[in-house]
Amino acid sequence: MSEKRVLLIVGGGIAAYKTLELTRLLRKAGVGVRPILTQAGAQFVTPLSLSALAEDKVYSELFSLTDEAEMGHIELSRSADLVVVAPATADLMAKAANGLAGDLAATTLLATDKPVLMAPAMNVRMWEHAATRRNLATLKADGVSFVGPDEGAMACGEYGEGRMAEPAAIFDAILGMLEGGPLKGKHVLVTAGPTAEALDPVRVLTNRSSGKQGFAIAGALARLGARVTLVAGPVSQPTPAGVSRVDIESAREMLAACQAALPADAAVCVAAVADWRPDEAYRIKLKKGRDGPPVLTLVENPDILATLAAHTPQRPRVVVGFAAETNDVEKHARAKLTRKGCDWIVANDVTQPGVMGGADNTVMIVSKAGVERWDRAGKDEVAMKIARRIAQDLA
Ligand code: CTP
């Protein structure tokens, strides 16, 4: 990594203090860091701390005589292998999405011909605002990559999505972009979200899966360099950067999409697939009649995980399943491991508060080799650990 360089733009947000730790991690890994500190950023961290940790000069002014004499701002924008914006404030994102060039950070983002990674950090309302949504979509369409934001308690006292990703996660994303990542050249298939089984054209049988954990895993795999196909049921999650997404509704559509995506080096089945579907999907809307409510007959859906694990000749080398349990977690997970023929199972207790649809997860990894219990962590962190474990298995 010693020849790799990052141009690190530090925006004005309380999360800027985490960027100091990120700088330390990068330097420890031998990555060169050249910092640009915005005026607002300098309200949160000092140029001296940043410069000391980066072991380089801090650039701040667009029209600084000394800086321009040393290195023009256009040259500066191309002086690294990757441009990282952390924290990427709403203001910096808006400037970059609209091509503004009123200060050194904005000019750098407009002038650079290098890949750009942003780690957004802002209040949840600002993150959810239609203007930020538009800017995010524009930046993604322009090829900018994103890591985070995470969900959690914020410095402003509110709770929600908008916390900057942890330094270790940003570091992983940077390494993935710099070196291609340990999953470079590998194709990983991920299923996520619920399935919806039609009863008639307007009614479905479905479940409460948010798709959050599956989407986080797809994003983490992509950050480690994998080509990721994400087969997703109906959820409102944004597609992670670098992931190719196939939207489906029913379990049978999910299976067909997975089979069409083969061959894959690994498959991670996170989806909460409906075990049953109505035996008949009515072509026209069922009407209330004199006979009272209809009686539903359910038939079993195909098991996607078991089908992939038993696939010949295209069984992925690593097949990972999930087990959401309410009791006897380890026992049920072991039974599932054998029944479904997968290599390991990520099991969790969904009766724990905040797991279903929430930000955190407490999981255990059950394989033939035994059981590993992981500490409670954010779903993004759990996702990255799972992605790393897959990379190890495929190595
Ligand atoms: N799964 C699947 N296709 C199905 C059902 C489940 O691919 N039709 C996958 C899930 O994505 C998950 C694993 O199988 O990785 C476990 O799913 P779960 O619903 O917990 O297991 P079941 O086989 O349905 O067992 P049970 O309902 O008895 O807990």
Smallest Cα–Cα separation from 223: which of 66, 70, 82, 23?
82
Of residues 92 and 72, the one with the higher pLDDT is 92
- Whole-number Å distance, alpha carbon 212 to ligand 1 midpoint, is 17
pTM metric for this prediction: 0.72
- Whole-number Å distance, alpha carbon 18 to ligand 1 midpoint, is 39
Q: Where does the pLDDT of residue 122 fall: very low under 50, low under 70, confident under 90, or very high at 90 and above?
A: very high
Atom of ligand 1 nearest to the CA of 301: 8
Residue identifier of the C-alpha nearest atom 4 of ligand 1: 303
Atom of ligand 1 nearest to the CA of 323: 20
Atom of ligand 1 nearest to the CA of 275: 8
Q: Is the pLDDT of residue 2 over 70?
A: no
Residues with CB under 6 A from ligand 1: 191, 251, 269-271, 273, 275, 301, 303-305, 321-324, 336
Residue identifier of the C-alpha nearest atom 12 of ligand 1: 322
Residue identifier of the C-alpha nearest atom 24 of ligand 1: 275
Residues 14-30: pLDDT tens digits?
999 999 999 999 999 99
Q: Place domain 5-179 in its CATH homologous superfamily.
A: Flavin prenyltransferase-like (3.40.50.1950)
Predicted confidence at residue 56, as pLDDT, reads 95
- Whole-number Å distance, alpha carbon 339 to ligand 1 midpoint, is 10
Q: Place domain 187-394 in its CATH homologous superfamily.
A: CoaB-like (3.40.50.10300)
Average pLDDT over residues 6-16: 97
Q: Which residue has the tokens 């990555």?
A: 31
Smallest Cα–Cα separation from 350: which of 149, 210, 151, 159?
210
Predicted confidence at residue 142, as pLDDT, reads 84
Number of other CB atoms surrounding residue 199 within 10 Å = 18
Q: Is the pLDDT of residue 225 over 80?
A: yes
Smallest Cα–Cα separation from 39: which of 99, 76, 92, 78?
92
Residues 315-338: pLDDT tens digits?
999 999 999 899 999 999 999 999
Number of other CB atoms surrounding residue 140 within 10 Å = 18
Predicted confidence at residue 381, as pLDDT, reads 84
- Whole-number Å distance, alpha carbon 324 to ligand 1 midpoint, is 8
Average pLDDT over residues 75-83: 91
Distance CA 348, CA 322 (A): 8
Q: Is the pLDDT of residue 235 over 90?
A: yes
- Whole-number Å distance, alpha carbon 266 to ligand 1 midpoint, is 18
- Whole-number Å distance, alpha carbon 38 to ligand 1 midpoint, is 49
Tell me whether the CATH fold assigned to 5-179 matches the one assigned to 187-394. yes
- Whole-number Å distance, alpha carbon 115 to ligand 1 midpoint, is 39
Atom of ligand 1 nearest to the CA of 308: 7
Domain ranges of the chain: 5-179, 187-394
**Of 143-152, 210-219, 311-320, the least confident:** 143-152
Residue identifier of the C-alpha nearest atom 8 of ligand 1: 303
Mapping DSSP onto H, E and C, the string for the chain reads CCCCEEEEEECCCCCHHHHHHHHHHHHHCCCEEEEEECCCHHHCCCHHHHHHHHCCCCECCCCCHHHHHHCCHHHHHCCCCEEEEEEECHHHHHHHHHCCCCCHHHHHHHHCCCCEEEEECCCHHHHHCHHHHHHHHHHHHCCCEECCCEEEECCCCCEEEEECCCHHHHHHHHHHHHHCCCCCCCEEEEEECECCEECCCCCEECCCCCCHHHHHHHHHHHHCCCEEEEEECCCCCCCCCCEEEEECCCHHHHHHHHHHHCCCCEEEECCECCCEEECCCCCCCCCCCCCCCCCCCEEECCCHHHHHHCCCCCCCCEEEEEEEECCCHHHHHHHHHHHHCCCEEEEEECCCCCCCCCCEECEEEEECCEEEECCCEEHHHHHHHHHHHHHHHHC
Residue identifier of the C-alpha nearest atom 9 of ligand 1: 305
Residue identifier of the C-alpha nearest atom 25 of ligand 1: 336
Q: Where in the sequence numbering do the catalytic residues fall?
A: 156
Mean pLDDT taken over the chain: 93
